[in-house]
Structure 1
Amino acid sequence: MSRVSAETHEAPEAPEGTEYRVSTLELFFDLVFVFTITQLTSKLADDTSPLGFAQVVIMLFVILWMYFGYVWLTNAVPPTTTMRRLLLMAGMGGFLVIALAIPNAFGAAGVAFGIGYLIVNLVHSGLFIASGGPGSAAAMARLAPFNLGSAGLVFVGGFLPSTWRAAAWTAAVVVMIVSPYVNRRHGEFRIRSAHFVERHGLVVIVALGESIIAIGIGATGLPLNLQLVVAALLGLALVYQLWWCYFGREQDLRAEHNLAAMTPSDRASAALSAFGWAHAPILLGIVVVAVGVKKTIGHATEHLHLSGALALGGGAAIFLVGEIYFRYRLRIGSNKWRIIAAVAALVTVPVGLWLAIAQVAALVAVFGALLAVEAKRQA
């Protein structure tokens, strides 16, 4: 039998304890997610009002729920056959439609957002149940009605007026949040720790990359002078510090080790909380900081409006809140100084109301002090 024809048949499942690394197809899948992050950042940058922020939070949570669902899927079902790869491509297509709809999702593009989301959900549930192995497939079969119910709310909401659409999509988020606790069988999912931690680390890298893009977009069309260079370098330093908070001192390796040391049931529970509930504010914080950096680059020596200053200080604080819970859930060191840093990040907001570049510098100082104190205490 030829190699191509053989790949169309189901490959035997790897033994439960087998670890493997993230595949290039999964990295290719994440390229579409890059676009969703870019679209959400642009959407928030265009409308930093409380309503605009709320809409971005709703869309981000809805999107992350299924993106993380695909991480759980490929953790249990590696894309080793042609059929699995084709179905993942179908899921990518659904995510692309969602991303294209984001700028006007609460307007004329709501139907497209709902259709794309339904496609993503159907592919995920079908592939998981068909190929996830006895334990994971059974657990997914119990979770699928909740996922499909929330997808139905997103789909129907796309046809409703904007106010009712927001209500339907918020209800979908509520269903997502309560579903693991109503259906208490997520412990049956088998988590391969190395792959799971690596995949979530890569999505954080993707989001941080959007912050770098925000610097470039903010600088587009501006004269390359000292002011712009300093503002851009300070923005880069802040993004680097966010990276260091997440990856520094081998935090990802410690997370992998601690996750692997748990019992299978505890590991699944920790995976849900540390890589689901904790990573939602981590990624939201990165998106919001990117908006603040984008607004700062072109107005470095001016004052920020309250929305821009809150994007910088509040985004950094949201990121740290997610980090604190992530570290707490996986028992990775003390969080005392990160709690202090989250409060200090919010304190920088008045600085931005005075001078934009000064707030970025203040945040760099806050994160620099945090990382220095943590390094000294761990030395």
Structure 2
Amino acid sequence: MSQAPDTAPIRVSTLELFLDLVFVFTITQLTETLTEHPTAATFGNVALILAVVWWMYGGYAWLTNAVAPNSTTRRTLLLVGMAGFLVVALAIPEAFGESGWLFGAAYLVVNVVHSLLFAHSGGRVRVPLSRLAPINVTAAVLVLAGGFLPEPFRHIAWVLAPILQISSRWLLRPQMHRNSAGHFAERHGLVMIIAIGESIIAIGLGFRGVELGAGAILVAVLGLCIAYYLWWAYFAGDDERAEHVLAHAADEPARARLALDAWGFAHFPMLLGIVVAAAGIKKSVGHAFEALHWGEAIMLSGGVAIYLLGHAAFLRRLSLDGVIHRVAAAALVLAVIPLGHVMAVAQLAAIPLIMIAAAIAEDVPKMRRTGSTSISSFGRTPSA
């Protein structure tokens, strides 16, 4: 039997949006890091950093979904958590170097504040603290320890941290979590649109010192088109349908599993894809009519493909349509990598064209079904 949707949905507060803006600075820093060192090793480090930071962003999304930041103590603690996120982002360029200890210390602050806010909440939402807090804090200690350890032990500690965090999906009882579907979906939708917007800013920073000729303008416009169709894939109705599925989950445990799998795990590759695609676009700035190196061309198409596959996983987990279209688009986007090795602008133009075609292929059958329904009901007398 389906659970009724929330009768009094809560909305995202401006303070939560403020936290999102601080968190998304991470996207800018990761994009810059990958742009400066476009190697497989840097990609792995970027993925690790994003994994641990995204996990705790999700922790704060769960927290404020259950505990409104409506008291001075809660707002003050949230401010301290925001400061932790800010320092984490600032330390990203040298997170695996001399700033590793600083990243780890700030990340530990983020985790401790999260636990304190849960402890201060009172009532039923304190229950998850007994198991969740030790897992999160232990992961943070591993990250902090990595800042002091030599290689390869530094990376081993970092890899163990997200493994431990992800394991909580099975270690914790899902009924320990509750969420308001509207607030939860809106919160993650906002962070996605901010992340896409932040990627545009990151690309824009690459134009410093570049003459604004025809090539530069073309790269800017095509980069915007790619960002637009990343937005389209997520927000062209699927966000509302996803919220509906979450709100009508069979029971609280089912809702919790959906929330963690779809908005937690499946959103990670989408954010990673935004970072990688933005770095690829940024590397083409000033080289519109030149050939990209293979690594740069792979980043450009690979980032978009990672994003599309992440969204396909999101839709698949929620049993929504559009999975095949996104998987097919991801495959075609990867297939145009050689175009970038010939001329950057050719690959930049091909990617949004593929995404347009995928959107049309997905929407036309829906429009036909809607049209058929409208025609078949035309002239009928509405029932009383």
Alignment of structure 1 residues 49-88 onto 2, 5 Å = 49-88=39-78
2:145 equivalent to 1:145: no
**1:191-226 CA-partner distances (Å, limit 9, x unpaired):** 101110011011111210122113312222122222
Q: What residue is the counterpart of 1:241 in the other structure? A: 229
TM-score (ref. length: structure 1):
0.93
Q: What residue is the counterpart of 1:340 in the other structure? A: 328
2:257 equivalent to 1:275: no
SS at match of 1:220: coil
Q: Is the 2:226–2:351 contact (alpha carbons within 8 Å) kept by the matching residues of 1?
A: yes
TM-score (ref. length: structure 2):
0.92
1:259 pairs with one of 228, 234, 246? 246
The residue type equivalent to 1:201 in the other structure is G
208-217 or 238-247, which deviates more: 208-217
The unaligned stretches of length 5 or more in structure 1 are 1-15
| Cα 1:132–1:45 shift into 2, 3 Å | farther
2:211 equivalent to 1:216: no
Q: What residue is the counterpart of 2:161 in the other structure? A: 172
Alignment of structure 1 residues 25-64 onto 2, 5 Å = 25-64=15-54
Distance in 1, matches of 2:289 and 2:322, equals 37
Distance in 2, matches of 1:117 and 1:211, equals 23
Q: What residue is the counterpart of 2:378 in the other structure? A: none
SS at match of 1:301: coil
The residue type equivalent to 1:67 in the other structure is Y
Q: Is the 1:151–1:172 contact (alpha carbons within 8 Å) kept by the matching residues of 2?
A: yes
2:337 equivalent to 1:349: yes
Q: What residue is the counterpart of 1:105 in the other structure? A: 95
Distance in 1, matches of 2:284 and 2:295, equals 12
| Cα 1:334–1:166 shift into 2, 3 Å | same
The residue type equivalent to 1:124 in the other structure is H
Question: Per-residue deviation at 1:162?
Answer: 4.1
2:285 equivalent to 1:297: yes
Distance in 2, matches of 1:141 and 1:101, equals 30
Q: What residue is the counterpart of 2:179 in the other structure? A: 191
Question: Per-residue deviation at 1:18?
Answer: 3.8
Q: What residue is the counterpart of 1:317 in the other structure? A: 305
Distance in 1, matches of 2:8 and 2:106, equals 33
Structure with more contact order per residue of length (Cα contacts < 8 Å, sep ≥ 6): 2
In the alignment of these two chains, the number of paired residues is 361
**1:262-321 CA-partner distances (Å, limit 9, x unpaired):** 121111000000001100001000111000111112211111111111111111110011
Q: Is the 2:181–2:246 contact (alpha carbons within 8 Å) kept by the matching residues of 1?
A: yes
Question: Per-residue deviation at 1:17?
Answer: 5.7
Distance in 2, matches of 1:17 and 1:91, equals 31
The unaligned stretches of length 5 or more in structure 2 are 1-5, 368-384
Question: Per-residue deviation at 1:132?
Answer: 5.7
| Cα 1:334–1:99 shift into 2, 3 Å | closer
Q: What residue is the counterpart of 1:288 in the other structure? A: 276
Q: Is the 2:305–2:333 contact (alpha carbons within 8 Å) kept by the matching residues of 1?
A: yes
Question: Per-residue deviation at 1:141?
Answer: 2.0
SS at match of 2:288: coil
SS at match of 2:96: coil
Q: What residue is the counterpart of 1:330 in the other structure? A: 318
Distance in 1, matches of 2:215 and 2:337, equals 21
Question: Per-residue deviation at 1:156?
Answer: 1.2
RMSD: 1.3
**1:139-183 CA-partner distances (Å, limit 9, x unpaired):** 232221111111111111111124321110101111111122123
Please identify runs of 4+ aligned residues in structure 1 that moved more than 2 A.
none
| Cα 1:138–1:17 shift into 2, 3 Å | farther
Question: Per-residue deviation at 1:186?
Answer: 2.7
Distance in 1, matches of 2:158 and 2:54, equals 14
